[in-house]
Amino acid sequence: MKRIGLLGGMSWESSLEYYRLLNEMVKNRLGGLHSAECIMASVDFGPVSDMMKTDDWKGIERVLSEAAQDLKRAGADFLIICTNTMHLIAREIEKASGLEVIEIGIAVGEEIERRGLKTVGLLGTRFTMERAYYRDTLAGFGISVIVPSEEERAVVDRIIFEELCKGIFREESKSAYKKIINGLQMNGAEGVILGCTEIPLLIKESDVDIPVFDTTAIHAWAAVEHALS
């Protein structure tokens, strides 16, 4: 089994879910008392989120690259970045650390392609929704991406940072997300990407009428497949 390096802490709420999923998936694959061989570097999200607010992506790259280098020194064989947004600088982190990064967007694209969908909605932080990472990555699979309106993007982003990253889960926020997803569906989305690793803690497939792509679970499965290959 290859040793998985987890670059986490953004937020620790979703990093906890990654750890649970990785171990459950390995146990289900191998049986008995098997669990995932993994190492986590969990950064302090406070300073990182402050740098996000000022668009200091060089600063974020420096912090995450140093953490990734720590993972390599600790014996990680490859790396997963336990957040969607930070895949905006995945290639830079991969280059700085010398560890292969298993990309969340590619794993999600493969799953959408397997399901046969061609147009999907995307929820996430404003960076994830507004920048090109998912649009460009999924274009390589022949998949189009629809995002909410500017006003709705602000609502999605606010709930992520003010509630979900703090472990706060409100029914009114779930209702707001469901309404936004319904709007995406009306605009042609055949499914929706929960493109922030905290959103699956609030929204489940049973909450909406179209397929839901839980990026945390999809990414964790891709990591397990790679670790056991």
CB-based contact 197:84 (threshold 8 Å): yes
Catalytic residue among 38, 82, 83, 137: 83
Measured distance CA(52)–CA(211) in Å, rounded: 30
Quick one: tokens of 159? 């709930």
Closest among 80, 17, 9, 86 to 46, alpha carbons compared: 9
CB-based contact 117:145 (threshold 8 Å): no
- Return all residues near 35 (Cβ < 8 A) that are at least 6 apart: 23, 26, 27
Catalytic residue among 82, 196, 197, 215: 196
CB-based contact 156:173 (threshold 8 Å): no
Residue 83 bears catalytic tag: yes
Residue 38 bears catalytic tag: no
Active site residues: 83, 196
